[in-house]
């Protein structure tokens, strides 16, 4: 059984037991989180699709850890104009392990 969930402005395909890296969540490590924005649930050859969300469906997961992604350099440069801006960015992520998928 698999599901497509929406969190942090992105969509993720998850299965029971899979570990997914999502945008940072406000939850402690080891806490239980529930994703209720489920777009699709599929099992075998049957698929349930929401319009846009599936009513009553939910995905439960536990927070494994919080971490930062790789450093990304952002450079803005205009030749012959004496313009150069250099910035760096590291995105915060949360790693969750899916424990249960309920189709509703």
Domain range for 38: 2-65+93-102
| Euclidean distance between CA atoms 50 and 43, whole angstroms | 15
| Region class of 45: left (phi > 0), else alpha (psi between -120 and 50), else beta | alpha
- Please indicate, yes or no, if residue 97 is contained in any of the structural domains: yes
- Please indicate, yes or no, if residue 82 is contained in any of the structural domains: no
- Please indicate, yes or no, if residue 37 is contained in any of the structural domains: yes
Task: For the beta carbon of residue 100, count every other beta carbon within 10 angstroms.
Answer: 12
pLDDT given for residue 103 in this prediction:
86
pLDDT given for residue 31 in this prediction:
97
pLDDT average per 10 residues of sequence, the chain (104 residues) = 95 97 96 96 90 94 97 98 98 98 86
Token output for 26: 């406000």
- Please indicate, yes or no, if residue 18 is contained in any of the structural domains: yes
pLDDT given for residue 45 in this prediction:
86
Q: How many separate domains does the chain show?
A: 1
| Euclidean distance between CA atoms 91 and 35, whole angstroms | 21
pLDDT given for residue 14 in this prediction:
97
Question: Do 16 and 58 touch, CB atoms closer than 8 A?
Answer: no
**CA nearest to 16, candidates 74, 91, 99:** 99
Token output for 40: 């699709």
- Please indicate, yes or no, if residue 36 is contained in any of the structural domains: yes
What's the Cα-to-Cα distance from 67 to each of 52, 97, 98, rounded to whole Å?
Answer: 31, 15, 18
pLDDT given for residue 104 in this prediction:
72
- Please indicate, yes or no, if residue 84 is contained in any of the structural domains: no
- Please indicate, yes or no, if residue 85 is contained in any of the structural domains: no
pLDDT given for residue 13 in this prediction:
97
pLDDT given for residue 47 in this prediction:
92
- Please indicate, yes or no, if residue 7 is contained in any of the structural domains: yes
């Amino acid at each position: 059984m698999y599901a497509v969930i929406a969190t942090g402005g992105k969509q993720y395909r998850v299965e029971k037991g899979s570990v997914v890296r999502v945008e940072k969540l406000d939850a402690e490590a080891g806490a239980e989180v529930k994703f209720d924005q489920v777009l699709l649930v599929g099992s075998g050859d049957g698929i349930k699709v929401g319009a846009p969300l599936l009513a009553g469906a939910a995905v439960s997961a536990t927070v494994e850890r919080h971490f930062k992604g790789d450093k990304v350099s952002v450079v803005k440069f205009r030749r012959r104009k004496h313009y150069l801006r250099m910035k760096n960015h590291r995105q915060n992520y949360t790693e969750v392990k899916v424990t249960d998928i309920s189709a509703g």
